[in-house]
Amino acid sequence: MDYVYGPGRNHLFVPGPVNIPEPVIRAMNRNNEDYRSPAVPALTKTLLEDVKEIFKTTTGTPFLIPTTGTGAWESALTNTLSPGDRIVSFLIGQFSLLWIDQQQRLGFNVDVVESEWGQGANLDILASKLAADTAHTIKAVCVVHNETATGVTNNLAKVRSILDDYRHPALFLVDGVSSICALDFRPKALEATKTAKSVRVFFDWNDYLKFYKLGTFWPYTHPSNCFMDLEQVWISFLRKDLTILAVEAWGLKNCTQKEEWFSDTVTAVLVPPYIDSSEIVRRGWKRYNLSLGLGLNKVAGKVFRIGHLGNLNELQLLGCLAGVEMILKDVGYPVQLGSGVAAACAYLQNNTL
């Protein structure tokens, strides 16, 4: 789509990237620095301690690696597993699909458990597989915490409980790309790197550990500006409630099939068969300067996504909901203008301190 300039700001309501706090933007607006200067290790040491708080640990060893979520996947897999290791991995949407593809291409033996898109990981099947695995051939269980393609959040505590109940030593590997800093999460995986035989270079944790001990922290040149912007931004659960109420008022359905799986960070909205959800996203951008998330893969053309995470407030979300109502009217859906906004406003007024 062509870039269209409009006054004011773009209304960014995709599940990522998200709105950035102004102090963070200002912190990034600085010149590059010598990564070998004494200031960089001092800053890095502080950041590593701060990151521990995000992951709810006081003893864990975090790594700051400039990469995308795909790189984080590869880092976790190659540092903890060896080629041929058996993995149980849950396919519930586009991002779990991509992670499984990576697992297979890296040479692991992937036992895929597939659910209908809009459902969470089938933990009954996990329990049966662990019960049958008395020889402990399963080396890892891989779960996407927050599947943004469908708006599904998996219950990690329940997965951990199942592993503990069967006293199974499998590693629990989690994609936290759209949940860390937003949903509760606590990790522990470093011990496994001592026996992992997967080939790794750029993502090798041992390289980092070596430079951690030296006190310089970085095994290569890092993008210093990126690390000036680390700030913890927790999500407001109220925004999810407002969005769900609006969707219900419009007479539409959530792609996520059970309330227990509803994501706090994104809502995927199903549209009627006669509407192409891609047109909703296109019109939002072109006509109203509103960015919504597309439906991906199996739900392409069937859902649009409203991201409600990052640096935004409830009144900003009301603006997004108003824009969605106008778009729905544009594409021929018989929405009553103001219905979703009114439902959200009523709830917000009664639940704001």
Q: Are 14 and 293 spatial neighbours (Cβ–Cβ below 8 Å)?
A: yes
Separation between Cα atoms, residue 251 and residue 186, nearest integer Å: 38
DSSP strand pairing (303-307 vs 266-270): antiparallel
SS3 for 256? coil
Separation between Cα atoms, residue 274 and residue 272, nearest integer Å: 6
DSSP strand pairing (171-175 vs 138-144): parallel
SS3 for 9? coil
What would you measure as the largest C-alpha separation in the chain, in angstroms? 65
User: Any known ligand binding at 86?
Assistant: no
List the one residue out of 180, 200, 229 whose CA is nearest residue 28. 229
List the one residue out of 40, 32, 47 whose CA is nearest residue 216. 40
Let me know the angle formed at the C-alpha of 308 by 254 and 336, rounded to the nearest 5 degrees: 55
Using CA atoms, how far residue 116 sits from 91, 165, 297, in Å, is: 9, 26, 13
Q: Which residues are annotated as a binding site?
A: 305
Which residues make up each annotated binding site for substrate? Answer: 305
